[in-house]
Copies of this chain bind each other. A is one copy, B any other.
Amino acid sequence: MALFLSTFVNRIDKKGRTSVPATFRAALAAQAFQGVVAYRSFTNACVEGCGMDFMERLSDGAQGLDAFSAEQEDLSALIFADARQLPWDPEGRISLPEDILAHAGITDAVAFVGKGQTFQIWQPEAYRAVEAEIRARALASRPTLPLRPKIPAGG
């Protein structure tokens, strides 16, 4: 499975274009839609990013309504309504829409922050601040990551 790792800071040019980090593009290379999907975070001043496959999984989840509460349905509806398909050009650049930029306070540079199966897009300074904060909290509380046992591949 493709993972989004590391943090990359790229510029935005006069046309509003910014390069998607090459490793992120590689993680999405196998998908039908050649680009990223982005929607405004509900909880942070940042933009959530993922591949189309992730949206399809969201959609699959939303179809089986028994598993979904009314609130969850609302939430996924908001995500679909807010999400943009941002195809990249032959050089691997995307154009972030105006309201997306505004939501994250982005002007001339963006930080692509790997989150595993998804990533986030931040105004670089804003992310540095948030990261420091998270790091401080982690130091204090010592959280643990549950690891599910590796399923042995046959062979």
| Chain A residues within CB distance 8 Å of chain B | 1, 3-7, 23, 37, 42-43, 52, 55-69, 71-72, 74-85, 113-117, 131, 134-135, 137-139, 141, 143-148, 150, 152
Residues on B with beta carbons closer than 8 Å to the beta carbon of A1: 56, 59, 150, 152
Does the CB pair A59–B145 fall under 8 Å? no
The complex is assembled from copies of this chain, and their number is 2
Question: Known contacts A57-B148, A81-B113: does B7 contact A75 (CB below 8 Å)?
Answer: no
A16–chain B nearest beta-carbon distance, Å: 17
Q: How far is the CA of A67 from the CA of B66 in the complex (A)?
A: 9
A98–chain B nearest beta-carbon distance, Å: 13
Does the CB pair A55–B148 fall under 8 Å? no
Q: Choose from B42, B58, B72, B80 the contact partner of A4 (Cβ within 8 Å).
A: B80
Does the CB pair B148–A61 fall under 8 Å? yes
User: Assuming A1-B56, A1-B152, A74-B137, what are 19 further A-B pairs, CB within 8 angstroms?
Assistant: A1-B150, A3-B52, A3-B80, A6-B83, A6-B85, A7-B81, A55-B116, A57-B147, A60-B148, A61-B148, A62-B116, A64-B66, A68-B146, A75-B138, A75-B143, A76-B145, A78-B131, A78-B135, A83-B114
